[in-house]
Amino acid sequence: MNAKIAIVGAGPSGCYTAQALLKCAPGLEVDVIDAQPTPFGLVRYGVAADHQGTKGVARQFARIFTRQGARFLGNLSIGDETTVEDLRQAYDAVVFAAGMSGDRRLGIPGDDLAGVIGSGALTRALYEHPDAGPFPVLGDTPVIIGTGNVAIDILRLLAKTPEELRGSDLGPGPSAWLAAQRFRKITVVGRSSAASARFSPVMIKELADLATVDLSVVFPDPDGASVLNTAVTSTSGPLPVEFRFESRPAALEKTGGGLHLQVETPQGRDTIAASSVISAIGFTSKGTLDRDAILRAADEPDGARGRVYATGWFRNGPVGAIPQCREEAQALAQRILSELQPDPDRVGRQLFAQHPDIVDFDHWQQIDAQEVAAAPADRCRQKISRREELLRPSNLQDA
């Protein structure tokens, strides 16, 4: 079939959609567009630096561009110069797989105080996202709010020694920042009970294997066999890490030198002193796309839909890991193929003929090769973080 499809977002959802489309219909022109000069979304900028096995999915995604014929159009933010309507006119179908990049706020009084940091802002700084802000000041007693895997990823990285980060792709700046932290205690606060916390048991086992931590639990799971209860008895490192379940954040105040987090617990209101608060309670849509309008268009009945589709975190909110993105993308690809009505007059990627700064997959492969070649002995890559450097091919060719 000779149709033109644009996918906005080169994260797992966009890549898996391209993969499934091209597997069933190799003749399609599939353009995967990303605002960043680098592909793979949160695989590069979210999945933990010390989880290189998970990041290995990028090698599978690369084959979509090197073997299946998809095109990568990087450094092209849709919603700025190029509008959603421009894309709809140029392509037979447009898939929005643009993820969620804003930190969800706590929604309690004081959640905008200095010292309250979103998990996305922190991980973007740690993983050297081109749009990252400066490193936050965490102080000696940070509190992490949230008990999902993102919260546990952050906790683990904060607790690891430099030796335990060997083999990761954490850059020299983030590594030095982590090594300079002097925590007396880290507290993890969650609304749910210990039994219904969203972290995966594997993540807790990994945490318990660290030499540094001494885990304890307030309001533990009464089932003595839970993985966290086992971890409490097996850890005795120098850094106290306290999990406080059934503690609903109610307000934040700044008094004296630090923050005070008030929480509602089954035993009444309690106050937790915090040098900083890292909120890891999810993400919202942020940026140049009108998500609500796009989802409305995507949900219109066949025919009226205007060939707009949405998938992944952009569609569902920040839930689901990479395997779920794959499942959803495969089902979506079938639907798109059954509804496609190619129009030879659509211009496809010629829409971008006048955009001088778009980068292609060859360009990414040069960045990738340079990053791997520049890696110090205890790292698997050294990321290039500044957008200007990511965009400068001459710099890449000189390397």
Ligand X SMILES: Cc1cc2nc3c(=O)[nH]c(=O)nc-3n(C[C@H](O)[C@H](O)[C@H](O)COP(=O)(O)OP(=O)(O)OC[C@H]3O[C@@H](n4cnc5c(N)ncnc54)[C@H](O)[C@@H]3O)c2cc1C
Which residues of this protein are in contact with ligand X, per CB under 6 A? 8-14, 33-36, 41-42, 46-47, 51, 54, 77-79, 97-99, 123, 150, 153, 287-289, 312-314, 320-322, 325
Tokens of 359: 């980068």
* Residue (of 63, 17, 15, 76) closest to 41 by Cα position: 15
* Alpha-carbon span 201 to 36, nearest angstrom: 33
CB of 115 or CB of 120, closer to ligand X: 120
> Rounded to 5 degrees, what are φ and ψ at 260?
-125, 120
Q: Which is nearer to ligand X, 98 or 207 (CB)?
A: 98
Q: Is the Cβ–Cβ distance between 375 and 53 less than 8 Å?
A: no
Which residues have a Cβ under 8 Å from the Cβ of 338 and sit 6 or more positions away?
none
User: Which C-beta is closer to ligand X: that of 53 or that of 356?
Assistant: 53
Distances (CA, A) of 145 to 2, 176, 241, 242, 355: 49, 25, 13, 12, 42
- Residue that has been written with the tokens 């916390």 in this structure: 197
Identify which of residues 84 and 272 has a Cβ nearer to ligand X in the complex: 84
Phi, psi (degrees; rounded to nearest 5) at 73: -115, 95
Nearer to ligand X, 72 or 183 (CB): 72
Contact between residue 32 and residue 15 where contact means Cβ atoms under 8 Å apart:
yes
Cβ distance to ligand X smaller for residue 140 or 360: 360
Q: Measured from the CB of residue 287, what is the shortest distance to ligand X in angstroms? A: 5
Query: 36 or 276, CB closer to ligand X?
Result: 36
Name the residue nearer to ligand X (CB basis): 37 or 110: 37
Residues 293, 158 contacting (CB under 8 angstroms): no
Quote the least distance from Cβ 127 to ligand X, whole Å: 8
List the one residue out of 27, 25, 28 whose CA is nearest residue 6. Answer: 28
Nearer to ligand X, 217 or 333 (CB): 333
Contact, 306 vs 93, CB < 8 A?
Answer: no
Angstrom CA distances, 87 to 32, 253, 309, 352, stand at 12, 46, 12, 10
Element (H, E) at 385: none
Question: Nearest distance from residue 192's CB to ligand X, in Å?
Answer: 19
Shortest CB 72 distance to ligand X, Å? 11
Cβ of residue 257: shortest distance to ligand X, in angstroms? 29
Positive or negative, the CA dihedral 349, 350, 354, 356 is positive
CB of residue 100 to ligand X, shortest distance in Å: 7
Query: In the bound complex, what is the minimum distance in angstroms from residue 213's beta carbon to ligand X?
Result: 20
Give CA separation, 330 vs 67, 73, 327, 339, in Å: 18, 22, 5, 15
Nearer to ligand X, 321 or 347 (CB): 321
CB-nearest residue to ligand X = 11
CB of 250 to ligand X, least distance (A): 26
Would you say 250 and 224 are in contact if contact means Cβ atoms under 8 Å apart? Answer: no
Q: Smallest gap, in angstroms, from Cβ of residue 274 to ligand X?
A: 21
The distance of closest approach from Cβ of residue 162 to ligand X in the complex, given in angstroms and rounded to an integer, is: 21
